[in-house]
A = this chain, B = another copy of it.
Amino acid sequence: MERIRNEAIRAKVTTAQAAAAYIKNGMTVGASGFTSIGYPKAIPAELAKRAESGEDLGITLITGGNVGDQIDGVLARAGVLRRRYGYQNNKDLRALINADQVKYVDTHVSHVPYMIKNGYLGKIDVAILEVAGVDEEGRLISTLALGINDILAKYADKIILEVNDTVPEAVEGMHDVFTLERAPHTQVIPILRPNDRIGSPYIPCDPDKIVAVVRTNGLDANQNMKEPDADMEAIASHVLCFLKNEIKSGRLPAPLPPFQSGVGGVANAVLMGLAKSDLENLTVYTEVMQDAVVALIDAGKVNSACGTALTISPAAREAFYAKIDQYKGKIILRPQEISNAPEVIRRLSVIAMNTAIEVDLAGNVNSTHIGGVNIMNGLGGSADYTRNSGLSVFSTASTAKNGAISCIVPHVSHVDHTEHDTEIIVTEQGIADLRGLTAYERADVLIEKCAHPKFRPELREYIREARAKAKGFHGIL
């Protein structure tokens, strides 16, 4: 089928080079993409080419989530990136950020759309949106990453579309676009279950703002999932055991509230553990759905799931695309302003599961910085969920660097989640339930349940010293 069903917009198809000409030195550019899928690929290459051939070309780039090397890497290496807003996880970009050569501002995923529409980041000169297609009325059909596409379509001055032929056309209808107006307008987000439809499958877009359309066929650069290792399996098993006990004690209902699950191996292992468990009627209200969510649906465990991106690993992609229709009605793709909305997260009592780089004895979590100095990736949506969840779980292996350092530390070198927001900490050693505990009590349970046995004596000694120096050590750690 013709992907561009609107004639006026079809007439704007041009070359990537011609389209990229709309982007000039000093501009602020917004781009689609989330978890390294659905990001523009052709225009960034043209921009890099221009910079490499000597043009003075520097831009501010805003994305909703992390994007592939074809944009962050290509632009970083060509020196085109001057400022960068949004989550990122590109190796070359990170090096420039940590050398202060690219100005990077790490922002909650739910705040990015809010900041754009209120002008907190200045105006967006051009948005580059990869899309699956355009409908008869000129409305946009997103890829499997919706992110901030609705916000960019509405608030950018000019729009360039990359219509990518590798995106399955059957994605049409999986989106539920519901865009909140800015203040003083006030509006309920009427979601009561993860698969409630409250909007339209299409993104409205003023056709006059679309200045160019490029046809592309580059594949997304997201990676295959690694098989869970023994530590991940142990963490998943502790979490499952804990959840079952919570149901038994009456603190959590059965069926459980929806799960949010961070990206990566541990998250994947926990969800795969759920697929094999005897828990039934599970639901998912999350930022990114990965392979495990599809597995949970296939296993008959989940009938209602949503997120702002559905990121299938390359190995599983073809098989999934072939049967994508059977997931419609069960999986919904939402704008990130909705997937990460405090309103819905609290309303649904979401169980938030995220990963930590290190956890301190008071329960503060560092999830972004190595040694407090160098940023790893960014905060992502972890705090959107943690802060407003019904139950917040953080996991980490008890040690890093092949066991050389403890991930349970006296004092984290950077606080991303405060002691007031973390409830359950889990390592391969065990699980610490911090709810209702004082700072000293939290320290004890973290040492005895989560720290690696070889680091426990030192951590106990730290607490003994802290206690001797300052009787109520609230915060001294």
Contacts and interface: CB of A to CB of B under 8 A. Distances in A.
B387 A387 contact: yes
Interface centre among A111, A118, A416 (most CB of B within 10 A): A118
Contact of A368 (B249, B343, B349, B475): B475
A238 interface: no
Interface string A368-382: 110011110001000
Given A106-B420, A390-B114, A420-B383, A436 B472 contact: no
A472 B97 contact: yes
Given A418-B418, A441-B103, A435 B115 contact: yes
Contacts of A115: 435-436
Nearest to A351: B183
Contacts of A421: 108
Given A190-B188, A346-B341, A474 B253 contact: no
B253 A184 contact: yes
A453 B237 CA distance: 56
A105 B100 CA distance: 39
Contacts of A441: 103
A315 interface: no
Q: Interface residue tally of chain A, by bracket?
A: 35 or more
A238 B69 CA distance: 44
A472 B341 contact: no
A388 B441 CA distance: 29
Contact of A475 (B108, B183, B346, B414): B414
B373 A475 contact: yes
Interface string A354-377: 000000000010001100111100
A373 B472 CA distance: 7
A260 B257 CA distance: 31
**6 closest Cβ pairs, A-B complex:** A342-B342, A183-B349, A414-B475, A343-B343, A98-B472, A415-B415
